């Protein structure tokens, strides 16, 4: 995946509620964040909600121990550069939301894809599988 393809996949993902994202939409973004040298070009074109979604994705995937320490540091620095201020969540108490998502005021997360996302963080994972 090149930078342009990554940016396109990321922007498409950020434009929709994360709850409705499919694994096929999340997988290329997750692989790039975990295993490549590609980084999102932080731009002012993101609206506040898209910025929060990007922050959530960066923070979520930087916590996966399968990527290198330097990669996790890159993702942390990028998420900090977004300057996303924690907000109180207005989440629906009938539905569980990832605490990280709640912290930035999102009522959406990737919990519905947890089994598939876990396959991306094994030490045996191959980008070509």
- The predicted-structure confidence for 29-48, as pLDDT tens digits, reads as follows 999 999 999 999 877 789 99
117: enclosing H helix or E strand: helix 114-119
Specify whether the CB–CB gap between 13 and 29 falls below 8 A: yes
**CB-based contacts of 110: which residues, under 8 Å, 6+ apart?**
18, 21, 26, 60, 98, 117
CA pair distance 99, 105, nearest whole angstrom: 10
- The predicted-structure confidence for 93-107, as pLDDT tens digits, reads as follows 546 899 999 999 999
Q: In whole angstroms, how far apart are CA 80 and each of 5, 67, 71, 113?
A: 24, 19, 14, 25
């Amino acid at each position: 995946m090149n930078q342009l393809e990554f940016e396109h996949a990321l922007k498409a993902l950020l434009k929709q509620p994360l709850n409705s994202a499919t694994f096929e939409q999340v997988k290329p973004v997750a692989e790039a964040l975990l295993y490549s040298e590609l980084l999102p070009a932080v731009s002012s074109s993101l609206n506040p909600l898209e910025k929060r979604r990007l922050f959530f994705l960066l923070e979520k995937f930087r916590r996966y121990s399968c990527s290198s320490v330097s990669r996790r540091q890159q993702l942390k620095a990028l998420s900090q550069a977004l300057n996303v201020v924690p907000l109180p969540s207005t989440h629906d108490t009938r539905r569980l939301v990832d605490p990280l998502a709640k912290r930035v005021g999102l009522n959406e997360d990737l919990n519905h894809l947890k089994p598939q996302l876990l396959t991306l963080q094994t030490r045996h994972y191959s980008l070509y599988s």
